[in-house]
Amino acid sequence: MFEISRNKNNENKLLIAKITDKYEFSKTRNKITYTDFLNISEISIVKKYLKEQNIKNYEIFGGREDADRNIIIFYPEKFTKEIIEKNYENILEVIRIELPNNIKYEHREFLSGIMKLGIRREKFGDIIVTDTGADIIVLSEISNILAQDLKNLTRFQKSKITIQNIKDLKIKENEFANLKIIVSSIRLDNFVSELARCSRSKANELIEQGRVFINSINEFKPSKKINLNDIITIRGRGKFIYEGIEKQTQSSRFLLNIKKYK
C-alpha cells in the first residue's frame, strides 16, 4: 500500500508540474495554451491545485457537457470566455467513422483500434458511439494523422472516415438503467459497497485509493453524506445518480432509487 501511495504521489507531482508549465507559458507569452486530455481523477487533482493557487483564467472542455475526458485551456487574463469558446474548434476536432450498413461496433472496438495504432490515450477524448459508427474527439494536432491511420485498420477499411468541426459533434443523450439498492445509512461507503457489489472493507479501499468521485470531485471520506442528485463515479465500476429514498424498510434500512449511466 505504501508503494502504491508513493507512486501515486509521484504521478500527481508530475501532473502538477506539467499543468504549472502550461499556465506559466500562457501567462508569460500571453497566449492560449492547453493540456492533453485528462481523466476524471486528474481533473479533480488539477482543479484543487488551481483553486489553491487562486488561478481562475482557465476553462475545462471535452467537446460536450459531462465529458469523461477533458482538456484544460489556459488563457491570458485580458481574454474573455467568448474568445476562448471561439478557439475551441482550433484545439479540438472530431474524427467521424461511418461504418458499412451491416456492421456494428461497440465502444471497446473503436478504442482498441485507436490504441493499436500506438496513439497515446491522452491525445483523444470521449468516443461517442452512434447508430452509424462513432465520433471520436481528438486534439486537432493529431486529427489528420489519426484519420489516415484508422483507414489502414482492417476493421475500418470499408468505413467512411472524415474530420469534422467540434461544433458538429453528434451529441447522444445519456441512457440509464434504473437500479434499487438497500443501505443502512446515506453514507458514501454504503453506496460504493452496493453499487460496486463489494464488501464494506473493499469499498473503503476503493475510496482510499482515490477511485471514487462525487460530482467529479475525489472524495476520500467513507462517512461522506450523499445528497439528492449527487453523481457518484467509481472508476472501473460505473457512474450513478442518486435519485432519493423510495422507502424505509422494517429493519430501518433505506431502499434507494439509483440511475446508472449505460
pLDDT in tens, the chain (262 residues): 444 455 567 888 999 999 999 999 999 999 999 999 999 999 999 999 999 999 999 999 999 988 999 999 999 988 988 889 899 999 999 999 999 988 999 999 999 999 999 999 999 999 999 999 999 999 999 999 999 999 999 999 999 999 999 999 998 888 899 999 999 999 999 999 999 999 999 999 999 999 999 998 999 999 999 999 999 999 989 999 999 999 999 999 999 999 999 8
d(Cα 178, Cα 176) in Å, to the nearest integer? 6
- In total, how many domains does the chain have? 3
Are 203 and 241 contained in the same domain?
Answer: yes
For the packed helices 200-208 and 188-195, what is the interaxial angle rounded to 10 degrees?
110
Q: What was the pLDDT predicted at 80?
A: 86
Residue-wise burial string across 201-216, b where 16 or more C-beta atoms lie within 10 A, e elsewhere: eebbebbeebbbbbeb
Are 78 and 105 contained in the same domain?
Answer: no
Q: What was the pLDDT predicted at 120?
A: 93
C-alpha grid cell for residue 70?
Answer: 477533458
Task: For residue 156, give the DSSP letter.
Answer: G
Are 67 and 43 contained in the same domain?
Answer: yes
SS3 136: strand
Q: What was the pLDDT predicted at 5?
A: 52
Question: CA 240: distance to chain centroid?
Answer: 14
Are 130 and 82 contained in the same domain?
Answer: no
Q: What was the pLDDT predicted at 44?
A: 93
* Cα dihedral value 136, 139, 141, 142, nearest 10: -40
Are 81 and 24 contained in the same domain?
Answer: yes
Are 180 and 237 contained in the same domain?
Answer: yes
Are 104 and 68 contained in the same domain?
Answer: no
Report which residue type is found at 238: G
Q: What was the pLDDT predicted at 2?
A: 42
- Considering the entire predicted model, what is its pTM? 0.83
Are 227 and 245 contained in the same domain?
Answer: yes
CATH of the domain at 84: 3.30.1370.160
CATH of the domain at 154: 3.30.70.260
CATH of the domain at 257: 3.10.290.10
Residue-wise burial string across 130-162, b where 16 or more C-beta atoms lie within 10 A, e elsewhere: eebbbbbbbbeebbeebbebbeeeebbeebebe
Domain that holds residue 215: 176-261
Reported in sequence order, the residue ranges of 66-207 that DSSP labels E, i.e. its strands, are 71-74, 92-98, 124-129, 133-139, 160-165, 176-183
